[in-house]
Chains A and B, each alone.
Chain A
């Protein structure tokens, strides 16, 4: 699980052009400087690296109720748990 979190954090970091300082669970998503297209790229990389399918349509608000990086990590953990064992 820690590896999964680490992978997502690294992917986010690579796209977070607005980030100043550390990337932590508490970092607000709004401070990352991620535009709508960077979201698509992040999801692509998550799917490629972690072998999970992220339900997403770029015409909707990508983050829904999520506010912080921690919320993203939790959402990913949920997806990973749902993933049927290979």
Chain B
């Protein structure tokens, strides 16, 4: 009998708040974390799901110590979320235990802000990059900071698969615990690309909304980029039970595959295949299933994801509830799978499905129940968290309430 993996701690930092409680209150209350910001020269306003006010997280990050003051924002966000998840789990990491703990943190881009700042100053003002620049931008920086800060000396590395990074990191960490290479691990993802250069590059794709994010709604205008981190404490079930830990949920499935087709356009069969793999062997009733959708609010994603859900669940697709919490916290890119796993798990725990807000126009190509605009109580047993990345990389996590 292989090991079972459970979730014993949660941490989230996003535009909905600096911790998991604020995050959940935001989700359940249908709060919109989207703001207007000026990021570069001139008065060009950008719509982002930023942590607001802009300095709220900076003040908190200052309490995280010297190492974090010198690190990029995406590392600070990861450490803040991880610290919350670790505290929440109640695990005391002794030197002996540290060798059995993993730190696997995904990111889509890495230290984008530090890179932007360093190269901007170099190219326009002739200033040399700061000697810490490389250590700030490398994508493994958060995993390394977690390892150093908490004494985690088991498997530690970064996972990068664009918008599926967080889900891949969590799934891979669970597999590592199942394999016996670790007994517990902090797994999730972090992203902080709300900087002038990266945002302009995103705008160049012409897929960004100029006001709100409206997933599955015909009035959709595109995605809104957010920032933040979501981290889970994953743990071997027997170990968690032995120490009397409070268990949020069991990670019962992980499906991953690749479309093998296109860098931009997602494929129905890839998404459907990943969902099928995640729920394989589970006896689930669609009426007690919540699907936290990838739901970016783009024409590329929403109809494709809807078709994929229909393909997997057939007639049962009309009995399950789907929502895109990106309508509230924005698209956290690499960190999306991290915070959305937290959202899915809390939905299971509270028996409340968070809404898809800003839903105001039915789309014939998106014909599921997306829990529009208001949270809905529902007795849930299973939750899926879908992540489908640019480049056709898919990862789906399945959680069960225990």
Q: What is A's interface to B at a CB cutoff of 8 Å?
A: 17, 37, 40-41, 44, 48
CB distance B131 to A17 under 8 Å?
no
The 7 closest A-B pairs by CB, nearest first: A40-B131, A44-B131, A41-B131, A44-B130, A41-B132, A17-B66, A37-B131
Interface centre among B127, B128, B131, B132 (most CB of A within 10 A): B131
Q: In the complex, which residues of chain A have a beta carbon less than 8 angstroms from the beta carbon of B66?
A: 17
Secondary structure dominating the interface of A: helix
Q: In the complex, which residues of chain B have a beta carbon less than 8 angstroms from the beta carbon of A40?
A: 131
Q: In the complex, which residues of chain A have a beta carbon less than 8 angstroms from the beta carbon of B130?
A: 41, 44
Instruction: State how many angstroms separate the Cβ of B334 from the closest Cβ of chain A.
Output: 27
Task: Please measure, in the bound complex, the distance between the C-alpha atom of A44 and the C-alpha atom of B131, giving whole angstroms.
Answer: 7
Instruction: State how many angstroms separate the Cβ of A11 from the closest Cβ of chain B.
Output: 13
Instruction: State how many angstroms separate the Cβ of A86 from the closest Cβ of chain B.
Output: 16
Secondary structure dominating the interface of B: loop
Of the A-B pairs whose beta carbons lie under 8 Å apart in the complex, a sample of 5, sorted by A's number, is A17-B66, A37-B131, A40-B131, A44-B131, A48-B128
Instruction: State how many angstroms separate the Cβ of B117 from the closest Cβ of chain A.
Output: 14
Task: Please measure, in the bound complex, the distance between the C-alpha atom of A73 and the C-alpha atom of B131, giving whole angstroms.
Answer: 22
Task: Please measure, in the bound complex, the distance between the C-alpha atom of A48 and the C-alpha atom of B127, giving whole angstroms.
Answer: 9
B residues 111-158 with Cβ under 8 Å of A? 127-128, 130-132
Task: Please measure, in the bound complex, the distance between the C-alpha atom of A84 and the C-alpha atom of B145, giving whole angstroms.
Answer: 43
Beyond A44-B128, A48-B127, A48-B128, 6 additional pairs, beta carbon < 8 A = A37-B131, A40-B131, A41-B131, A41-B132, A44-B130, A44-B131
Instruction: State how many angstroms separate the Cβ of B339 from the closest Cβ of chain A.
Output: 32
Residue of B nearest to A47 (CB): B128
User: Which of under 10, 10 to 19, 20 to 34, or 35 or more describes the interface residues of B?
Assistant: under 10
Instruction: State how many angstroms separate the Cβ of B66 from the closest Cβ of chain A.
Output: 7
Task: Please measure, in the bound complex, the distance between the C-alpha atom of A17 and the C-alpha atom of B66, giving whole angstroms.
Answer: 10
Task: Please measure, in the bound complex, the distance between the C-alpha atom of A37 and the C-alpha atom of B127, giving whole angstroms.
Answer: 20
Q: In the complex, which residues of chain B have a beta carbon less than 8 angstroms from the beta carbon of A37?
A: 131
Task: Please measure, in the bound complex, the distance between the C-alpha atom of A17 and the C-alpha atom of B130, giving whole angstroms.
Answer: 20
Task: Please measure, in the bound complex, the distance between the C-alpha atom of A48 and the C-alpha atom of B128, giving whole angstroms.
Answer: 9
Task: Please measure, in the bound complex, the distance between the C-alpha atom of A37 and the C-alpha atom of B135, giving whole angstroms.
Answer: 11
B residues 66-84 with Cβ under 8 Å of A? 66
Instruction: State how many angstroms separate the Cβ of A84 from the closest Cβ of chain B.
Output: 19
Q: In the complex, which residues of chain A have a beta carbon less than 8 angstroms from the beta carbon of B128?
A: 44, 48
Task: Please measure, in the bound complex, the distance between the C-alpha atom of A48 and the C-alpha atom of B121, giving whole angstroms.
Answer: 13
Interface 1/0s, chain B 374-390, versus A by CB < 8 A?
Answer: 00000000000000000
Q: In the complex, which residues of chain A have a beta carbon less than 8 angstroms from the beta carbon of B127?
A: 48
Q: In the complex, which residues of chain B have a beta carbon less than 8 angstroms from the beta carbon of A41?
A: 130-132
Interface 1/0s, chain B 77-99, versus A by CB < 8 A?
Answer: 00000000000000000000000
Instruction: State how many angstroms separate the Cβ of A59 from the closest Cβ of chain B.
Output: 15
Instruction: State how many angstroms separate the Cβ of B137 from the closest Cβ of chain A.
Output: 16
Residue of A nearest to B132 (CB): A41
Interface 1/0s, chain B 263-301, versus A by CB < 8 A?
Answer: 000000000000000000000000000000000000000
Task: Please measure, in the bound complex, the distance between the C-alpha atom of A37 and the C-alpha atom of B131, giving whole angstroms.
Answer: 9
Instruction: State how many angstroms separate the Cβ of A45 from the closest Cβ of chain B.
Output: 9
Task: Please measure, in the bound complex, the distance between the C-alpha atom of A37 and the C-alpha atom of B136, giving whole angstroms.
Answer: 14
Q: In the complex, which residues of chain B have a beta carbon less than 8 angstroms from the beta carbon of A17?
A: 66
Task: Please measure, in the bound complex, the distance between the C-alpha atom of A46 and the C-alpha atom of B127, giving whole angstroms.
Answer: 14
Q: In the complex, which residues of chain A have a beta carbon less than 8 angstroms from the beta carbon of B132?
A: 41
Instruction: State how many angstroms separate the Cβ of B197 from the closest Cβ of chain A.
Output: 22
Residue of A nearest to B66 (CB): A17
Instruction: State how many angstroms separate the Cβ of A26 from the closest Cβ of chain B.
Output: 26
Instruction: State how many angstroms separate the Cβ of B300 from the closest Cβ of chain A.
Output: 44
Residue of B nearest to A17 (CB): B66
Q: In the complex, which residues of chain B have a beta carbon less than 8 angstroms from the beta carbon of A48?
A: 127-128
Instruction: State how many angstroms separate the Cβ of A15 from the closest Cβ of chain B.
Output: 10
Q: In the complex, which residues of chain A have a beta carbon less than 8 angstroms from the beta carbon of B131?
A: 37, 40-41, 44
Task: Please measure, in the bound complex, the distance between the C-alpha atom of A40 and the C-alpha atom of B132, giving whole angstroms.
Answer: 9
